[in-house]
C-alpha cells in the first residue's frame, strides 16, 4: 500500500503575514461596520423616517451612509492611503467603485426578493424586514467587487520608486 505523506498545512501566522490577507481582514471588519450603518439606517428609513417611499430609494440612501463610513476607515486604516493620492481623487474612485457595488447590491436584492422571498418588486411593496434580509444576500458579491476595486484602483499605491526631492544643491559635475 502506497500512502502519500500529508500535505503541509499553511500556518495561520504565515498567512497573516501577507499584506493582502491582512487588508482583506481589515476591509471585512470595516465592511461589518459599514453594513451595520447601511442596514441599520435602511431599517430606520423604511420603518419611520421615510415610510411609504420605495425600498430602492431607502436602500440607496442607507448604502451611501455606509460608503462614507467605509471610505474613512479604509483610507486611514485598511490601506493606509493618506500618503498617496489626494483625498478628493481617492473619494471619487472609491465612490465610483461603490456605485457599481450599489448596482450589484440592488440587483442581487431584487433577485432575492423575486426568487427566494417571493415578493415582487414590481408589485406590492415588500416588508422592510424582507428587504433587509434580501439585501444581506448581496454582501459576498459586493464585498469581492469592492475589495478588489478599492485595493487595485481607489487606494492603490503608486508604482515605481517615489521621487526624493532634495533642497540641497547638486555637487559640481553631478548629473542633473
Find how far residue 5's CA is from the centre of its chain.
40
Question: Are the CB atoms for 59 and 115 separated by under 8 Å?
Answer: no
The predicted model gives 155-170 an average pLDDT of 61
Residue with cell 481617492: 90
The pTM of the whole model exceeds 0.85: no
Q: What angle do CA 27, 139, 48 make, to 5 degrees?
A: 105
Residue 138 has pLDDT above 80, yes or no: yes
The predicted model gives 124-150 an average pLDDT of 86
Alpha-carbon distance of 24 to 20, in angstroms, equals 6
Residue partners of 1: CB distance under 8 A and separation at least 6: none
Residue 173 has pLDDT above 80, yes or no: no
37-57 pLDDT, tens digit each = 998 998 899 888 888 888 888
Amino acid at each position: 500500500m502506497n500512502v502519500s505523506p500529508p500535505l503541509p498545512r499553511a500556518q495561520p501566522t504565515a498567512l497573516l503575514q501577507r499584506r493582502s490577507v491582512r487588508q482583506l481582514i481589515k476591509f471585512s471588519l470595516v465592511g461589518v461596520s459599514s453594513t451595520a450603518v447601511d442596514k441599520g439606517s435602511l431599517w430606520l428609513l423604511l420603518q419611520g423616517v421615510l415610510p411609504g417611499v420605495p425600498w430602492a430609494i431607502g436602500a440607496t440612501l442607507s448604502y451611501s451612509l455606509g460608503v462614507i463610513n467605509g471610505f474613512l476607515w479604509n483610507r486611514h486604516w485598511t490601506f493606509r492611503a493618506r500618503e498617496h493620492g489626494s483625498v478628493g481623487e481617492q473619494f471619487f474612485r472609491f465612490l465610483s467603485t461603490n456605485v457599481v457595488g450599489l448596482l450589484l447590491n440592488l440587483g442581487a436584492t431584487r433577485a432575492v426578493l423575486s426568487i427566494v422571498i417571493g415578493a415582487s418588486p414590481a408589485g406590492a411593496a415588500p416588508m422592510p424586514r424582507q428587504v433587509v434580509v434580501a439585501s444581506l444576500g448581496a454582501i459576498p458579491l459586493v464585498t469581492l467587487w469592492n475589495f478588489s476595486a478599492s485595493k487595485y484602483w481607489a487606494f492603490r499605491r503608486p508604482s515605481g520608486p517615489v521621487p526624493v526631492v532634495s533642497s540641497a544643491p547638486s555637487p559640481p559635475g553631478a548629473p542633473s
